[in-house]
A and B are shown apart, each in its own frame.
Chain A
Amino acid sequence: AQRVTQPEKLLSVFKGAPVELKCNYSYSGSPELFWYVQYSRQRLQLLLRHISRESIKGFTADLNKGETSFHLKKPFAQEEDSAMYYCALQGAQKLVFGQGTRLTINP
């Protein structure tokens, strides 16, 4: 079964501090993993996908197959990073989402 777990519903950090949003997954095959971000009253936007290994808005995420994790990291948080973040796994076609983490950056 495909499952994505984001253990933190809420995460609050100060501006300039490092951020790590946790994501663990369960999948028997080779997963493709994504991070989506949803800013207030906006659509879900693709932030990162693990196969591209790119950095977007200073965020990076590394797939750790041993720990079945895909944590999202940023070394220095900015106030505009405040948003809802969803980790998602894709097997064949459908995306399976985690519950999401609401990140708040305090000034």
Chain B
Amino acid sequence: EPEVTQTPSHQVTQMGQEVILRCVPISNHLYFYWYRQILGQKVEFLVSFYNNEISEKSEIFDDQFSVERPDGSNFTLKIRSTKLEDSAMYFCASSSTGREKSQYFGPGTRLLVL
């Protein structure tokens, strides 16, 4: 059964550094998402992406964040200048169409900003 994959599984970075989190969605899926979960808190939506553009974003997704689909398979989340409060588990998800709304999640990247 196809799965969403994410790399790296863990990332440690210094405050102010740029990080890129990578995701490979399920191959025939068209909608892509990023969520994050700060330790002890609920899973929060960051952004959705369809047809090579952002379709929805949350208040969390400010100018420090960007997403990209650089090729036919990868979907990336970039944080330009990391802050301590960006430390969290970041989940990528994908779904096939707008009607088939079930989202399938990757294993997550645990980001620690020091």
Query: Given A44-B43, A97-B42, A99-B42, does the pair A92, B56 have CB atoms closer than 8 Å?
Result: yes
Q: How far is the CB of B80 from chain A (nearest CB, A)?
A: 23
Given A46-B102, A86-B43, 6 additional A-B pairs, CB 8 A: A34-B102, A43-B105, A44-B105, A93-B48, A93-B55, A96-B45
Count of CB-CB pairs between chains A and B under 8 Å: 52
Q: Which residues of A approach B to under 8 Å, CB–CB?
A: 32, 34, 36, 42-46, 49, 86, 88, 90, 92-100
In the bound complex, what is the Cα–Cα distance between A36 and B103 (angstroms)?
10
Q: Which residues of B approach A to under 8 Å, CB–CB?
A: 3-4, 31, 33, 35, 41-45, 48, 55-56, 58, 91, 93, 98, 101-108
Instruction: Specify the chain B residue showing the minimal Cβ separation from A97.
Output: B43
Q: How far is the CB of A86 from chain B (nearest CB, A)?
A: 7
* B42 and A45 contacting across the interface, CB-CB below 8 Å: no
* B101 and A90 contacting across the interface, CB-CB below 8 Å: yes
Q: How far is the CB of B33 from chain A (nearest CB, A)?
A: 7
Query: Given A44-B91, A99-B42, does the pair A94, B58 have CB atoms closer than 8 Å?
Result: yes
